Chains A and B, each alone.
Chain A
Amino acid sequence: MSKIIENKGNKSTKSGFGEGLLIAGFNKNVVAIGADITASVGVNMFAERYPERFISLGIAEQNCVAVAAGLALCGKIPVFSTYGVFAALRAADQIRISVCYNNVHVIIGGAHAGISVGPDGATHQALEDIALMRTLPNMTVLSPCDATQTALAINAAVNSCNGPVYIRFGREAVPDFTNENQVFEIGKGQLLKEGNDVSIIATGHLVWEALQAAYLLENKGIGVRVINIHTIKPIDYEIIIKAAKETGAIVTAEEHQIIGGFGSAVAEVVVQNYPIPMEFVGMNDCFGESGKPEELMLKYGMTAHAIQEKVLMVLKRKQSDD
């Protein structure tokens, strides 16, 4: 467990994606598609290294996605990365029909995930992409927690998948805290910290915050289990049901709308298998705004302290149930 955690300083998950894609490029079938903003979504290094396998298609996300489907139907493994708002929402119909219904191996990178994009404001903060992508049949949804894990995720998407994959990552430099020798298996959650009073199940950037919340609570004598779910679909039933049974209360944390998002995915597992009190940390049905990333995380309640509050709430409900 503790072997997974090894803080190496701050780094954006976007850089992890870019570095991972460069390694994934050893596979000659991998081609990258750019929609103009290649440097800000981690595709520029691949484009420089493998210009013959980089396809610039301009600011035309719908075309990018369906072109990727055509490439995949001919045996290529296309990786199309742009801001998550445009990848997942602008081209949603192309993802549904040309990619998912055809069940082709297309990898879509959703950059600028969450509110931590900061000053660009609401238009560029992807807060609905998990909800949309996880409803699509055949789609695998990845939401790695740091740069190291994002590099592993893109390589797993290339080498261990045959169908559509959506990978979500952010722009802000965040703690890069997982070990590069960790086992990254699609569909398998990671137990980061033991504890039997309550579980925090988190995804993406909020996994680090969840760990911090757990340490704060430990000082108050509360044993908190922390689980990282990097694969939102297919989700790890086993680790969630085990947490429900052994800790009796769960708080989920995501940088995304609460409605239909990661927390909902966990709740679907919990209510069908072992119903227990749950609380959700995430965006509460509203758009973001401009501001510094840390200011926004604080205002919209997606910090370690906010998670801690929700843990105390869920523990009250657990105790009143007893």
Chain B
Amino acid sequence: MQYNDVNILRHIAFNIRKDIIVSLAEAGSGHLGGSLGLADVFTVLYFNTMKHNPKLPNWLERDKLILSIGHVAPVLYCTLANAGYFEVEELLSLRKLGSRLQGHPGRDHGLPGIELSAGSLGQGLSVAVGMALAAKMDKVNCRIYSVHGDGELQEGSIWEAAMSAAHYKLDNITAVVDRNYLQIDGKTSDVMELEPLIDKWKAFGWNVISCNGNNIKELVSAFDKAKDYKGKPSVIIAKTLMGKGVKSIENDYRWHGKAPSKDQSKDFIKELEVCNE
């Protein structure tokens, strides 16, 4: 089901955030900050932009989403469940023995909608290039979306992939960089400077679109622009807040790789509800 109404999309993003908090509290570990920050990006992708069908997860002409940063698996799982790929209740099995919801996505566990087992940073853009090349060879009308962290761009293999996507003019790729300026050890500018980031992607031959990654309207327009651009792959630098929606933890890198306790999760959901009003 695809929506153009911003209010509906905002409400879906709210539900996804709530599910992220609940499932991480139940799991007792996992990555809260980045998952919350990306909830709007995933909402727009799965409920507005992407061509997909939860009832036919292997449909040949579907758009494919590659989550290169496997550690934010909760935002993918919660989005897929809300889109109808599986029951929302299953989110409570996150990270548990025998679960289809592995700590980082694993295709071999059989969860519908998972395009790639991933978790080691810097590989997803290359996989997206492979898929985009295959689609061009077979003239399959689909787009490949890949989601990356800003810290992930410190991996050299990302730039090998970026070079090859431009070389083959893979305009069927839209990459998203979750630009929250934070990584596990702190600010990206302290750990390893990424700026001038837009210039880097431009120099590698990409169409670069910058937007507020927590603004539904801006995201819808950014993905549309990327879809219409011909001759180059597109990258959306989506500026997000780590922990977005829960005021007390927003922009706090200590929440990159942490899960809330069950008590904390109740407070976080209250904060989320205030933020949503």
Identify the A interface with B (CB < 8 A): 31, 52-53, 55, 57-58, 60, 62-63, 65-76, 78, 93-94, 96-98, 101-103
User: Judging by beta carbons under 8 Å apart, are A97 and B164 in contact?
Assistant: no
Tell me the nearest residue of chain B to A100, going by C-beta: B117
CB distance from B157 to the nearest CB of A (A): 4
Q: Enumerate chain A residues within 8 angstroms of B161, measured Cβ to Cβ.
A: 63, 66-67
CB distance from A10 to the nearest CB of B (A): 37
The 10 lowest CB-CB distance pairs between A and B, nearest first, are: A70-B130, A66-B126, A74-B134, A63-B160, A60-B160, A70-B127, A67-B130, A62-B157, A71-B130, A70-B131
Tell me the nearest residue of chain B to A65, going by C-beta: B126
Cα A71 to Cα B138 in complex, Å, equals: 11
Q: Enumerate chain B residues within 8 angstroms of A66, measured Cβ to Cβ.
A: 123-124, 126-127, 130, 157, 161
Tell me the nearest residue of chain B to A67, going by C-beta: B130
7 further A-B pairs in the complex, CB-CB below 8 A; given A62-B123, A68-B130, A69-B123 = A55-B168, A67-B127, A69-B127, A69-B130, A71-B133, A73-B116, A74-B131
User: Judging by beta carbons under 8 Å apart, are B131 and A62 in contact?
Assistant: no
Q: Is B250 an interface residue (CB 8 A)?
A: no
Cα A73 to Cα B161 in complex, Å, equals: 17
Q: Is B118 an interface residue (CB 8 A)?
A: yes
User: Judging by beta carbons under 8 Å apart, are A98 and B126 in contact?
Assistant: yes
Cα A258 to Cα B163 in complex, Å, equals: 39
CB distance from B75 to the nearest CB of A (A): 20
- Interface size in chain B (residues, C-beta < 8 A): 32
Cα A75 to Cα B138 in complex, Å, equals: 10
Q: Is B120 an interface residue (CB 8 A)?
A: yes
User: Judging by beta carbons under 8 Å apart, are B129 and A63 in contact?
Assistant: yes
Instruction: From A53, A57, A70, give the contact of B128 (CB < 8 A).
Output: A70
Task: Pick 24 A–B contacts, CB within 8 A, sort by A.
Answer: A57-B164, A60-B157, A62-B123, A62-B156, A62-B157, A63-B126, A63-B163, A63-B164, A66-B124, A67-B129, A70-B130, A70-B131, A70-B132, A73-B115, A73-B131, A74-B138, A75-B138, A93-B123, A94-B126, A97-B118, A98-B123, A98-B127, A101-B117, A103-B107
User: Judging by beta carbons under 8 Å apart, are A74 and B135 in contact?
Assistant: yes
User: Judging by beta carbons under 8 Å apart, are B130 and A97 in contact?
Assistant: no
Tell me the nearest residue of chain A to B131, going by C-beta: A70
Cα A179 to Cα B113 in complex, Å, equals: 48
Instruction: From B119, B131, B156, B168, give the contact of A71 (CB < 8 A).
Output: B131
Cα A58 to Cα B165 in complex, Å, equals: 12
Instruction: From B107, B130, B157, B168, give the contact of A74 (CB < 8 A).
Output: B130
Identify the B interface with A (CB < 8 A): 106-108, 115-120, 122-124, 126-135, 137-138, 140, 156-157, 160-161, 163-164, 168
Cα A63 to Cα B122 in complex, Å, equals: 9
Q: Enumerate chain B residues within 8 angstroms of A102, measured Cβ to Cβ.
A: 107, 116-117
User: Do A58 and B127 form a contact, CB below 8 Å, given A101-B106, A103-B108?
Assistant: no
User: Judging by beta carbons under 8 Å apart, are B133 and A62 in contact?
Assistant: no
Cα A67 to Cα B131 in complex, Å, equals: 8
CB distance from A290 to the nearest CB of B (A): 29
User: Judging by beta carbons under 8 Å apart, are B133 and A55 in contact?
Assistant: yes
Q: Enumerate chain A residues within 8 angstroms of B164, measured Cβ to Cβ.
A: 57-58, 60, 63, 67
Instruction: From B107, B116, B118, B160, give the contact of A62 (CB < 8 A).
Output: B160
User: Judging by beta carbons under 8 Å apart, are B126 and A62 in contact?
Assistant: yes
Q: Enumerate chain A residues within 8 angstroms of B127, measured Cβ to Cβ.
A: 66-67, 69-70, 73, 98
CB distance from B28 to the nearest CB of A (A): 24
Tell me the nearest residue of chain B to A78, going by C-beta: B130
Cα A66 to Cα B135 in complex, Å, equals: 16
Max chain B C-beta neighbours (<10 A), residue from A52, A73, A78: A73
Cα A13 to Cα B137 in complex, Å, equals: 31
Max chain A C-beta neighbours (<10 A), residue from B122, B157, B168: B157
User: Judging by beta carbons under 8 Å apart, are A97 and B106 in contact?
Assistant: no
Cα A31 to Cα B133 in complex, Å, equals: 11
User: Judging by beta carbons under 8 Å apart, are A73 and B130 in contact?
Assistant: yes
Q: Enumerate chain A residues within 8 angstroms of B116, measured Cβ to Cβ.
A: 69, 73, 98, 102
Cα A202 to Cα B130 in complex, Å, equals: 37
Cα A97 to Cα B122 in complex, Å, equals: 11
